[in-house]
Amino acid sequence: MNYGITKTIELSYEQAIEKVTEELKKEGFGVLTTIDVKETLKKKLDVDFQKYIILGACNPPFAYEALKAEEQIGLLLPCNFIIYEKEGKTFVSAFNPSVISSISNNEKLKEISVKLNEKINKVLDSI
């Protein structure tokens, strides 16, 4: 199973971060964490890396329902989105909630993952 949904976009890296954040808000997500991988690797390992950022996004109603259905689901939260540049192109990838269905027999989580998948695809489609 593919654990991510990826799209190549016609925006700069910086514009993509703004647009993804904006579209996430429209679908009820907030960005809880922002990890600038390029900056972190430079600081910690003194290595150069491509522009790459991880946005830890959360939709509180979905997170609450998922946590009620199964406490261990917190291991898969928040829903990560990554934005990176490679070979002059900008990519946006999002966690594929269908993965949850493949690793859990919890029917409530499966229902939640279908709805979450719709929201994530709306975000990606609007970029």
Convert the pLDDT of each residue in 74-97 to its tens digit: 999 999 999 999 999 999 999 999
Whether the per-residue pLDDT at 16 is higher than 90: the answer is yes
Q: Report the mean per-residue pLDDT for the chain.
A: 95
Domain boundaries, the chain: 4-125
pLDDT of residue 2: 86
Number of other CB atoms surrounding residue 93 within 10 Å: 17
pLDDT of residue 69: 95
Please name the fold of domain 4-125: TATA-Binding Protein (3.30.310)
pLDDT of residue 89: 97
For residue 101, name the pLDDT band (cuts at 50, 70, 90): confident
